[in-house]
Amino acid sequence: MFLDKGMGLLADVLMNPTFPDTEIAKLRADTLAAIQRQEDNLSSYTFKLLYKELFHAHPYGMPVIGTKETVSALTRDDLIRHHQTFFVPERMVLTVVGDVDTDKVYEKVKALFGEFKTAAAPLPAPPVEAHKTSIEKTGAIKEREQTHVGIAFLGTTIGDDDSFALRVMTEVLSGQGGRLFLELRDKKSLAYSVSAFSREGVDPGIVGAYIASAPGKKDEAVAGILKELERMLNEPVSAEELNRAKRSIIGNYEIGLQEVSSQATDMANNELYGLGYDFSLVYPEKIDAVTAQDIMRVAKKYLDLKAYVISVVGPNGEETPVK
């Protein structure tokens, strides 16, 4: 009963939105307030500036939430045009996960979406982001008790063979047993928080590291991160490090799929990105197949220590704030 009502409501929202002016006004106010609060979360703000400096041409450099100017200028007609462009069957994946009768759900979907035949022109390909050829700096001065630093390089795409090795590489660096944590937090007390990341996209994303340190320890913290990245270029990871990283990635992934909603999201995204809805079945195998040689190979490919972006936000951040 609830499934039928829920799917009916979903179909109505997707195919027959009304975009009431009163609701647009409420959401505009909420969004503008959220934009205003962005600089209160210094770690997130560090990454916002990092993306903006790393992606000059590609839209990945734009803030997902928008800007004060763009949100203020949006009209109801803009929303209608956006809906007509993006909410079309050829760009849609629908997943249903749970204790359901597959045949009945299939018939219900056909009945609800049978008239959903809206078409739209192909989307233009975004510009290709050029690789950096030097070290570029960004950031902002914020009088807080911590300095936040992000260092990033252009990464790879979702499902690319390199993506699995990059994830294992960054996990070797991350976590309580990772190199960054052990060296910079445990041994040297340079970090309140420290991690490495690989964020793939449909187009090349980013790979890098982040640290929050006491302002007076910022330079030593940055030097420490760069040293650990350099080690990745020159020293093979140990069998123990490799095994810890793989088990952590696979374990967290499988724990994350315990909820039905997470399974539905994972299946929908995997299908949408061209990996196949059942990619969760092969993902652990992809991670488990990564070798120490794979990690060194991708490190040399993506971690150019003479060409990256560094974002510093805090009392000793970059002197010229980025707006």
CATH of the domain at 6: 3.30.830.10
Instruction: Answer yes or no: do 146 and 89 share one domain.
Output: no
Question: Is residue 123 domain-resident?
Answer: no
Q: Give the DSSP H/E element, type plus range, for residue 213.
A: strand 206-213
What tens digit of pLDDT does each residue of 83-92 get? Answer: 999 999 999 9
Instruction: Answer yes or no: do 162 and 290 share one domain.
Output: yes
DSSP track, 137-178? EEEEE--SS-EEEEEEEE--BTT-HHHHHHHHHHHHHSSTTS
Instruction: Answer yes or no: do 150 and 233 share one domain.
Output: yes
Q: What share of the chain in percent tops pLDDT 90?
A: 90
Q: How confident is the model at residue 321 (pLDDT cuts 50, 70, 90)?
A: very low
Q: Is pLDDT at 32 greater than 90 in this prediction?
A: yes
Letter string b/e over residues 71-108, b meaning 16 or more CB atoms within 10 A of that residue's CB: beeeeeeeeeeeeeeebeeeeeebebeeeeeeeebeeb
Burial environment of residue 117 by CB neighbours within 10 A (0 to 12, 13 to 18, 19 or more): exposed
What tens digit of pLDDT does each residue of 12-23 get? Answer: 999 999 999 999
Final residue before a domain boundary, out of 113, 128, 155: 113
Q: How confident is the model at residue 319 (pLDDT cuts 50, 70, 90)?
A: low
Q: What share of the chain in percent tops pLDDT 70?
A: 98
Q: What pLDDT shows up at residue 322? A: 41
Structure tokens at 167: 């994830």
Q: What is the C-alpha separation between 180 and 170, in angstroms, rounded?
A: 10
Instruction: Answer yes or no: do 294 and 234 share one domain.
Output: yes
Instruction: Answer yes or no: do 174 and 291 share one domain.
Output: yes
Question: Is residue 12 domain-resident?
Answer: yes
The pTM of this model reads: 0.92
Mean pLDDT for 78-85 is: 94
Instruction: Answer yes or no: do 154 and 255 share one domain.
Output: yes
Question: Is residue 70 domain-resident?
Answer: yes
Question: Is residue 303 domain-resident?
Answer: yes
Q: Is pLDDT at 293 greater than 60 in this prediction?
A: yes
Question: Is residue 220 domain-resident?
Answer: yes
Domain that holds residue 36: 2-40+59-113
Signed CA dihedral, 131, 158, 173, 236: sign only: negative
Question: Is residue 321 domain-resident?
Answer: no
Mean pLDDT for 155-166 is: 97
The number of domains in the chain is 2
Q: What pLDDT shows up at residue 2? A: 85
